[in-house]
Amino acid sequence: MLHKVVAPFPCSWDGITSVDLEIGDERDFGSMADGLVAIGWIEPIKALTPTDGLQTTRAALGQTSPVRRKRK
């Protein structure tokens, strides 16, 4: 799961090389994610579902339900 950096901090995936992460960086932090979220340095990125775009489009058009046409 991807997370976004909300506070800059140095991180080392291999224990040797340090990488300076900046606000807005998106990474997969693996097993470190829970601890980094708990201290407020990263936050999860919501995964999009196939219907997210459809709901946004409907909201922009002022529709709350699918358009149904009457049969002739």
Residue 16: which domain range?
3-61
The per-residue pLDDT for 13 is 85
Does a structural domain hold residue 45?
Answer: yes
Does a structural domain hold residue 33?
Answer: yes
Does a structural domain hold residue 21?
Answer: yes
Lookup: tokens for 5: 């950096």
Cβ neighbours for 21, distance < 8 A, ≥ 6 positions apart: 5, 8, 9, 10, 11, 27
Domain count, the chain: 1
The per-residue pLDDT for 47 is 72
The per-residue pLDDT for 54 is 58
Along the 72 residues of the chain, how does pLDDT read in single tens digits?
A: 899 999 999 999 888 999 999 999 999 999 999 999 999 999 999 876 666 555 666 666 666 555 566 666
Does a structural domain hold residue 70?
Answer: no
CA angle (51, 37, 35) in 5-degree steps: 130
Which strands make up the sheet holding 42-44, listed edge to edge? 26-27, 3-5, 42-44
The per-residue pLDDT for 33 is 93
Does a structural domain hold residue 67?
Answer: no
